[in-house]
A and B are shown apart, each in its own frame.
Chain A
């Protein structure tokens, strides 16, 4: 028997969740009042979970590092949220959404989890509307939909270009209501620095009050981690400055397995890097590819002139433009999936055809759409995005093509969870982007918001009861227990160690260095040699960091450099594990491209015979090699096929 029990219920796919719900235990209202739950993170996953659990009667403590729960990075999602409502009568269904997600994930996700996600998706939209989320509507007063990312139906609900913001505000409102009622205690500007286990079960956390620097203990009967993704391991990404992998990493060090860490998504349409002063990358919505044509010059001399600023793109004739996506993928053209579009852009730039001063950008041109549809149509569709682009780059996309380049955007990998969303540590749960569960090797557009809210509103509130039903006799967790003292001591020692290095270089210096290694060797295109090199390089940078980082300020005061240092220290370890995982997976699937596993034309080649599994890494101690376990993926309802967009 494997040590991994995914607890996937028996029976036909469509009946699993209902059967499971009927079989799992329920806690009585009187007992719920006695049970405490810690929720770390207040994004779509955390806020929806904290609010729903409090409504059920549990006593909840919620944490976030920002000054308000409303600022979690879910706020930045633009495009929309999927749901199998079939409001458009275009033959959408739970099965179709399930199928698209499984296929989009390149067959590296669990059937049962994905089916359940599709199954609860309609409830999410109902819930959000009831909360007052102002989704886009038709003139008749009913909800409007858009299509997204290469699927054949229109199932994406949206609130202008601010869907994440509006969904998060909905969840935040629900959370506020429970805070006002006294059912949730909110700890903003608090960062979780460790999870505490007693007798093998998660029983609380250690957190730092970011304003006073105080290290505090919090006990509970269960701990839920909803801390988002680890894309910032690359330094530059579309994530928020504070987004981090540290909470998930602490869970890992306490025995929670980390799954598929090498699966990260690279989004093709971001504003390119300019010089070396840049701090983060801005996403331009995927929807732009509906009307923009992607190109680079055909002639290298034109590219060189563009790079030197000696030529204006509008002066390059149509016949001298290489619409490489249309050329390589005639049937999907500019609308190929994210991973394919990203790799194709990199290929052209690596070959010397990049169009900005760094040679790392391609054009996204609206000239043709404006000629065809008129400026007013384009303005109505993308006006806000064009304005944002102009504010950042000082270029007017109505008059000259946009420049775009791929950037790190999302982490499909994350903490391993079973069907109940529980990690391999009893009583420790992981939801939202932090877990690995639903997107396989590539996430479809508009599906992360769906997953976060599915987990928080409709799945965890049920499944956590199954565990807590056995905890009703457990008294209030005593934070003076030696396990808490031990964890607090370790956390304090680590902070002091970092602070006392008093070296010469800032945290950012090391973070950038790590980011370069990750992007060059563990980025869009990977090979065994490069990955091995990355592991060595990361080790060196980490060593240098622990010898030479300088953290100014005080320990007992607001200290952003200290916060960053802790997160970057963990990014070294996460980066190394990502490289190991990428090394193990000698196949190309979804966002993970191994040069050794490609067709003759350079397209990705999956290897189902060898790699139809979820990698599950187990921590074996500081400096020791982690152990790899494999959860085999079983497909009973879909047939595995190679993706083709030719």
Chain B
């Protein structure tokens, strides 16, 4: 499909100087955007305009721009990662928008993800949850040969499905309770599906869930909003699995 030009767009974007200040929406007009451009390229162009006008450009998080690092995190027209399905913000393209449209851009909104500046939020809470148990306790060296323990193909594939989580936080942003259950369950399932991870499965689930609660994420009420918005199609079946692992560990206490 040949690219078209969007002659004018209204960008209504959240501006907030830093964590302490109060934010507000500002509206900017931007012209002549190719439908072949990515959403973040549109943001680059807008920022270049702002710089030329002497306005502080809009801060947003991004790095790989190919949908894998999980850094980009924009809440666009009421949806994390915007209107396309199964893509991150950086893979969203302008052909999903119409000429003359108003696009509303906000940061992830969740108590556990405080805003740092404009659209940039602090997601270190995710790191902390993983530090509470999202690993296999082996040191470098002294491990068995890689083929010593066969793993069924189905288990490996299921582990991989869950391991595909990029830690972007869209699930939290999509959830009215700001629950991190999809993210936590993805890690728990990834490791519990593999013999190497099974050994610590119980304590892992317990430790990660209590860390999640401690950090101010909400509880899960099965709205499935997370699954719908997850760019990597992480299934809420993982949450069921997490609940099982969690229950097992509570019972064995």
Residues of chain A touching chain B, judged by Cβ–Cβ distance below 8 Å, are 48, 51-52, 55, 66-71, 73, 75-76, 85, 87, 122-123, 125-132, 134-143, 159-160, 162, 165-166, 169, 172-174, 176-177, 179-180, 186, 188, 211, 240-242, 274-275, 277-280, 282-283, 309, 388, 391-395, 457-458, 461, 504, 506, 508-509, 550, 552-553, 557-561
Given A134-B159, A508-B48, output 18 extra A-B contacts at Cβ < 8 Å: A52-B139, A67-B71, A70-B70, A71-B64, A75-B64, A75-B68, A125-B146, A126-B145, A132-B136, A134-B193, A137-B151, A137-B156, A139-B153, A277-B44, A278-B41, A279-B38, A388-B67, A394-B36
Which 8 pairs, one residue from A and one from B, show the smallest C-beta to C-beta distance?
Answer: A141-B150, A173-B135, A130-B143, A134-B159, A134-B160, A52-B140, A129-B146, A180-B131
Q: Which listed residue, B44, B93, B132, touches A508 by the CB 8 Å rule?
A: B44
Q: Which listed residue, A71, A137, A143, A162, touches B70 by the CB 8 Å rule?
A: A71
Q: How far is the CA of A233 from the CA of B118 in the complex (A)?
A: 28
Q: How far is the CA of A270 from the CA of B52 in the complex (A)?
A: 32
Q: Which listed residue, B50, B55, B87, touches A391 by the CB 8 Å rule?
A: B87
Which residues in B have their C-beta under 8 angstroms from that of A70?
A: 70, 127, 167
Q: How far is the CA of A392 from the CA of B39 in the complex (A)?
A: 11
B76 part of interface (Cβ distance < 8 Å):
no
Given contacts A132-B196, A180-B132, A188-B124, contact A68 B167 (CB under 8 A): yes
Q: Which listed residue, A67, A136, A141, A309, touches B2 by the CB 8 Å rule?
A: A309
Which residues in A have their C-beta under 8 angstroms from that of B252?
A: none
Given contacts A131-B196, A173-B134, A506-B51, contact A160 B37 (CB under 8 A): no
A287 CB to closest chain B CB, in angstroms?
16
Which residues in B have their C-beta under 8 angstroms from that of A55?
A: 139-140
Count of CB-CB pairs between chains A and B under 8 Å? 224
Q: Which listed residue, B34, B48, B56, B159, touches A132 by the CB 8 Å rule?
A: B159
Given contacts A160-B160, A162-B68, A391-B87, contact A174 B56 (CB under 8 A): no
Contact with A along B6-18 (1 / 0, CB 8 A): 0000000000011
Judge whether A134 and B140 touch: CB under 8 Å: no
Q: Which listed residue, A130, A159, A165, A457, touches B68 by the CB 8 Å rule?
A: A165
Which residues in A have their C-beta under 8 angstroms from that of B103?
A: none
Judge whether B139 and A142 touch: CB under 8 Å: no
Which residues of B from 159 to 210 have beta carbons under 8 Å from A?
A: 159-160, 163-164, 166-167, 190-191, 193-194, 196-197
B63 part of interface (Cβ distance < 8 Å):
yes
B3 part of interface (Cβ distance < 8 Å):
yes
Judge whether A557 and B140 touch: CB under 8 Å: no
Judge whether A66 and B140 touch: CB under 8 Å: no
B230 part of interface (Cβ distance < 8 Å):
no
Contact with A along B124-144 (1 / 0, CB 8 A): 101100111011111111011
Judge whether A394 and B93 touch: CB under 8 Å: yes
Which residues in A have their C-beta under 8 angstroms from that of B41?
A: 277-279
Which residues in A have their C-beta under 8 angstroms from that of B213?
A: none
Q: How far is the CA of A174 from the CA of B151 in the complex (A)?
A: 21
Judge whether B141 and A123 touch: CB under 8 Å: yes
Q: How far is the CA of A138 from the CA of B197 in the complex (A)?
A: 20
Which residues in B have their C-beta under 8 angstroms from that of A242?
A: 63
B101 part of interface (Cβ distance < 8 Å):
no
Which residues in A have their C-beta under 8 angstroms from that of B150?
A: 140-142
B153 CB to closest chain A CB, in angstroms?
5
Which residues of B from 9 to 59 have beta carbons under 8 Å from A?
A: 17-18, 33-34, 36-38, 40-41, 44-45, 47-48, 50-52, 54-57, 59
B10 CB to closest chain A CB, in angstroms?
19
B84 part of interface (Cβ distance < 8 Å):
yes
Judge whether A176 and B71 touch: CB under 8 Å: no
Judge whether B147 and A142 touch: CB under 8 Å: yes
Judge whether B146 and A553 touch: CB under 8 Å: no
Judge whether B123 and A73 touch: CB under 8 Å: no
Given contacts A176-B134, A282-B66, A558-B120, contact A85 B146 (CB under 8 A): yes
Nearest neighbor of B18 in chain A, beta-carbon distance: A557
Q: How far is the CA of A54 from the CA of B155 in the complex (A)?
A: 31
Judge whether B196 and A130 touch: CB under 8 Å: yes
B220 part of interface (Cβ distance < 8 Å):
no
Q: Which listed residue, A176, A277, A278, touches B131 by the CB 8 Å rule?
A: A176
Judge whether A134 and B68 touch: CB under 8 Å: no
Nearest neighbor of B92 in chain A, beta-carbon distance: A391
B95 part of interface (Cβ distance < 8 Å):
yes
Judge whether B66 and A76 touch: CB under 8 Å: yes
Q: Which listed residue, A73, A87, A506, touches B64 by the CB 8 Å rule?
A: A73
Judge whether A132 and B120 touch: CB under 8 Å: no
Which residues in B have their C-beta under 8 angstroms from that of A142?
A: 147, 150
Q: How far is the CA of A173 from the CA of B48 in the complex (A)?
A: 38
Judge whether A159 and B51 touch: CB under 8 Å: no
B79 part of interface (Cβ distance < 8 Å):
no
B241 part of interface (Cβ distance < 8 Å):
no
Which residues in B have their C-beta under 8 angstroms from that of A177?
A: 131, 135, 137
Given contacts A132-B190, A278-B41, contact A127 B156 (CB under 8 A): no
Q: How far is the CA of A242 from the CA of B71 in the complex (A)?
A: 11
Q: How far is the CA of A48 from the CA of B33 in the complex (A)?
A: 42
Q: How far is the CA of A129 from the CA of B156 in the complex (A)?
A: 11
Given contacts A176-B134, A394-B1, A561-B57, contact A76 B69 (CB under 8 A): yes
Judge whether A391 and B159 touch: CB under 8 Å: no
Which residues in B have their C-beta under 8 angstroms from that of A506?
A: 47-48, 51-52
B78 CB to closest chain A CB, in angstroms?
21
B248 part of interface (Cβ distance < 8 Å):
no
Judge whether B54 and A552 touch: CB under 8 Å: yes
Which residues in A have their C-beta under 8 angstroms from that of B228?
A: none
B215 part of interface (Cβ distance < 8 Å):
no
Given contacts A137-B156, A173-B136, contact A558 B147 (CB under 8 A): no
Nearest neighbor of B121 in chain A, beta-carbon distance: A67
Judge whether A279 and B40 touch: CB under 8 Å: yes
Q: How far is the CA of A165 from the CA of B163 in the complex (A)?
A: 9
Which residues in B have their C-beta under 8 angstroms from that of A126?
A: 143-146
Judge whether B123 and A68 touch: CB under 8 Å: yes
B91 part of interface (Cβ distance < 8 Å):
yes
Q: Which listed residue, A67, A76, A127, A509, touches B143 by the CB 8 Å rule?
A: A127
B101 CB to closest chain A CB, in angstroms?
18
Judge whether A71 and B63 touch: CB under 8 Å: yes
Which residues in A have their C-beta under 8 angstroms from that of B191?
A: 132
Which residues in A have their C-beta under 8 angstroms from that of B126?
A: 68
Nearest neighbor of B118 in chain A, beta-carbon distance: A558
Q: How far is the CA of A55 from the CA of B153 in the complex (A)?
A: 32
B214 part of interface (Cβ distance < 8 Å):
no
Judge whether A127 and B51 touch: CB under 8 Å: no
Given contacts A132-B194, A395-B1, contact A241 B70 (CB under 8 A): no
Given contacts A131-B138, A174-B140, contact A71 B196 (CB under 8 A): no
Q: How far is the CA of A128 from the CA of B144 in the complex (A)?
A: 11
Which residues of B from 60 to 102 have beta carbons under 8 Å from A?
A: 61-71, 84, 87, 91, 93, 95
